[in-house]
Structure 1
Amino acid sequence: MRHRHPALDGHQAAVRSIARVVEDTAPPQDPETASRGLLRLLERRPLVITGAGVSTDSGIPDYRGPNGSLHRHRPMTFQEFRDDPAARHRYWARSFVGWRRMDQARPNDAHRLLAEWNARGLLAGIVTQNVDGLHAQAAARVAAEREAGGIDGGDAGPAPLSALHGDLARVACLRCGATEDRRELDARLEAANPGYLERVAVDPDAVNPDGDVTLDQRWVDEFVMVGCLVCGSVELKPDVVYFGENIPRGRRESAEALLAGAGAVLAVGSSLAVMSGYRFVLRAERAGKPVGLINLGPTRADQKARWRWRAPATASLAWLDARL
């Protein structure tokens, strides 16, 4: 009997997850019925799960939408990144060019509204699958505005925010575990690659949600990678959860604790194609907690949701906010 290598199994499972096609599994719901139902669902202090559709108005593409990045690009799996030095080098060359577009993105009204709801105690918390850091930026801005206005958070105070898949703003060494701010790494990369960014011509709209952009191989070959500040290893990785990688246990348990304290689940801007987000719907269903969805297209959870509003995230949240 032949034994398969665990890393190969993990890579292939990740590729299947990336390639999953989310199709219609439930009949369309009348927008008026769905929106009014979601307004009532907000009375239950839901846990909000967000996906890439929340950040599209900030100029960051989604994965599976009509113009999503999966139509032109397959993200690298964790096993590829960890085990293939050439693949890892290719990622960093591409990320060096694409990351600054991510770094320039700013929170949009969807982030702001969710941050305000969270600060007012209307939510049990926010769990985001995004790695762009925009929810945290919006939360900090709202907190500062409320403090400047002398607004108290109330007895409950602001609910937590959990970045389930991590944040591109941090980098970790796979060899020794040391971490570094992404901006500091970027400054070191610029010093090691003088004039590189000026010579590379790319489509600014072709940046992927994981912070990289497609480059010709000649630019990959020319790119010079720098090492970890602690151990010197070039085995550096964005501190985010790749396809095929497990969510850190503590982070997963913290997010599950938020669900335990919620009266419902509201998923916004996510197809819930991957289990890390879909799991919250399954657990809510088992606990008898209603599920609501706001997404432009179908989701994996359509059959399990009581309310399904097919609409853009920002416009939908603004409509709900005006009626809270």
Structure 2
Amino acid sequence: MNMMSKHTQQAADRLYQFLQQHAPIAVITGAGISTASGIPDYRDQQGQWKRKQPVQHPDFMRCHLTRQRYWARSLIGWPTLRNAKPNVAHHQLARLSHSPLVSGVITQNVDRLHQKADTLNTIDLHGRADQIICMGCARQRPRQWMHDRCSQDNPSFLNFSATVAPDGDADLEVDFSQFQVPSCEDCGGILKTDVVFFGDNVPRERVDACRDVIRQSRALLVIGSSLMVYSGYRFARQCLENDQSIALLGFGKNRADDIATLKIEADISETLQCINH
């Protein structure tokens, strides 16, 4: 057994022991669990942004140019998110969700890869990128519908290439002023991806559902998230207040470092793959 595999097996053994001792466990996942599926993450190992912050909700709602920029970049970035497949970590967590060890999964991701892997009791904390919603009449449509509309109305933008960014974005910087953004066919309202943008709030009923999952658990496992965003960190604080143990799996700085019971710095996919039950 080489040093890497020995380290991974030790990490898996520690994690499995935590699962057994504290089951049932609530799980929070972040971007780090999906990078092996080809979806970039937001932050480096120090918890700092790797690129400019994503679009802000107030800017998207009040500024037409911001919406032009968002949908033009999404024209390039969305196919990567749409075509992504669950990786080993998703499948292994799905397997655990079918056992008494895991009570539910709260994901900060919007890629729906947990659902594609058949993970039970998954809550999309920040929404889902495969849907759009009208901010006027609240009608929902498939994201692909919007992608097709934008493609038809803006064929020249299909010629651009750019590095794919998280959540179906792309690092494209061109003149966006001529980009045609479709409006709602029913009411003429603003169409937006059905996710919680920065500067917006997670719906109260969704937060309450997450709190219930944690209340019904004995501990929390955080996988691939730095918890730098308060929408996820609040659940670690809830566990602290309830004297529930917290385990962290992933590399780098974590906002919950000082309150965690266990921190395992190891490859996520390899570690989960080594867990047998």
TM-score (norm 2): 0.91
Q: Match of 2:171?
A: 214
What does residue range 14-29 of structure 1 map to in structure 2 within 5 Å? Answer: none
State whether structure 2 residue 42 is matched by structure 1 residue 42.
Answer: no
For residue 57 of structure 2, the aligned residue among 64, 71, 78 is: 78
2:164 is aligned with what amino acid? V
CA RMSD of aligned residues (A): 2.1
Shift of 1:258: 0.5
Alpha-carbon distance change, 65 to 113 in structure 1, aligned in 2, over 3 angstroms: same
Q: Match of 1:160?
A: 121
Q: How much identity, in percent, do the aligned residues show?
A: 37
Secondary structure, in 3 states, of the residue corresponding to 2:206? helix
Secondary structure, in 3 states, of the residue corresponding to 1:305? coil
Q: Which runs of 5+ in 2 are unaligned?
A: 1-6
Secondary structure, in 3 states, of the residue corresponding to 1:60? coil
What does residue range 92-241 of structure 1 map to in structure 2 within 5 Å? Answer: 92-139=71-118, 159-197=120-158, 199-202=159-162, 206-218=163-175, 220-233=176-189, 235-241=190-196
Shift of 1:121: 3.5
Q: Deviations over 1:30-51 (max 9, x none)?
A: 9887654422221222101000
Contact 2:29 2:105 in 1 (8 A): yes
State whether structure 2 residue 262 is matched by structure 1 residue 283.
Answer: no
Structure-2 separation of matches of 1:77 and 1:237: 12
1:217 is aligned with what amino acid? V
Q: Deviations over 1:160-201 (max 9, x none)?
A: 11010001001011122111110122122222123531x213
Bigger proportion of residues as strand? 2
Alpha-carbon distance change, 181 to 298 in structure 1, aligned in 2, over 3 angstroms: same
Report how many residues are paired. Answer: 269
State whether structure 2 residue 267 is matched by structure 1 residue 312.
Answer: yes
Secondary structure, in 3 states, of the residue corresponding to 1:228? coil
Alpha-carbon distance change, 32 to 69 in structure 1, aligned in 2, over 3 angstroms: same
Shift of 1:90: 0.8
Contact 2:47 2:252 in 1 (8 A): no
Secondary structure, in 3 states, of the residue corresponding to 2:258? helix
TM-score (norm 1): 0.78
Contact 1:51 1:268 in 2 (8 A): yes
Contact 1:49 1:265 in 2 (8 A): yes
Secondary structure, in 3 states, of the residue corresponding to 1:210? helix
Structure-1 separation of matches of 2:94 and 2:256: 24
Q: Deviations over 1:273-308 (max 9, x none)?
A: 111111111111111111100011120101111110
2:126 is aligned with what amino acid? H
Q: Deviations over 1:8-39 (max 9, x none)?
A: xxxxxxxxxxxxxxxxxxxxxx9887654422
